[in-house]
Amino acid sequence: MPLRLRPNDPTFYDLFTEAANHLVDGSRILAELLGSAAGTGLASSHQIAAQMKDAEHAADETTHSIIRRVNSTFVTPFDREDIYRLASALDDVMDFMEEAVDSVHLFKLDHLPEEIAEQIEVLQRAARLTADTMPRLRTMKDLAEYWIEINRLENTGDAVHRRLIAKLFSGEYDALTVMKVKTVVDLLEAAIDAFESVANTVEQIAVKES
């Protein structure tokens, strides 16, 4: 195997960790939204939507920092295309979470099915696990448990999503509410799927670098 020159600069690992920590913040804001939609009023929903927008902007800045760094660095810690893919996948998670919060606000939803709490719990667990894993990219050690657990969480998210869709079409809700709430539910499911894309990218990087 040819010798691969690795830079000692920890900046990329720090930036990926920073990006994942934004997702921890985003999932926390989602949990706050659930309390707002449960009945504390649209004013709170507006404030929470503003918080999520700020978190999404901060995540975008970190993504831009990663891109600028890779474009200005001669030797990167792993393949440039993988750096782009990982940065993009992390950014996708935040985008979906922000869209979900914004949809609750724009649709003026003042109540959400209780089962959405299970989706948010999956997102919070995936976010914390991803944030804990990003620093380990530097050594590429002990990463298998990460993508295995994220895959398990994604399967849990799929099951919750199916139950939510079945509930929405059970006749309990009017047609307009079904359309609004399904938009939110689908966006949260997309965020969970995006976490799996992050984990798949990490797995591919680890295989290449092993």
In this prediction, residue 1 carries a pLDDT of 42
Sequence letter at residue 20: A
Whether 3 has a pLDDT exceeding 50, the answer reads: no
More confident residue, 76 or 175: 175
Q: Rounded distance, CA 154 to CA 165, Å?
A: 16
pTM of structure: 0.91
- Burial class (CB within 10 angstroms; exposed 0-12, middle 13-18, buried 19+) of 55: buried
In this prediction, residue 151 carries a pLDDT of 97
Q: Tell me which DSSP letter residue 171 carries.
A: T
Domain boundaries, the chain: 11-209
Q: Rounded distance, CA 49 to CA 96, Å?
A: 13
3-state helix, strand, coil in the chain (%, to 5): 80, 0, 20
Convert the pLDDT of each residue in 106-146 to its tens digit.
Answer: 998 888 888 899 999 999 999 999 999 999 999 888 899 99
In this prediction, residue 48 carries a pLDDT of 86
In this prediction, residue 35 carries a pLDDT of 65
Whether 38 has a pLDDT exceeding 50, the answer reads: no
* Fold adopted by 11-209: Methane Monooxygenase Hydroxylase; Chain G, domain 1 (1.20.58)
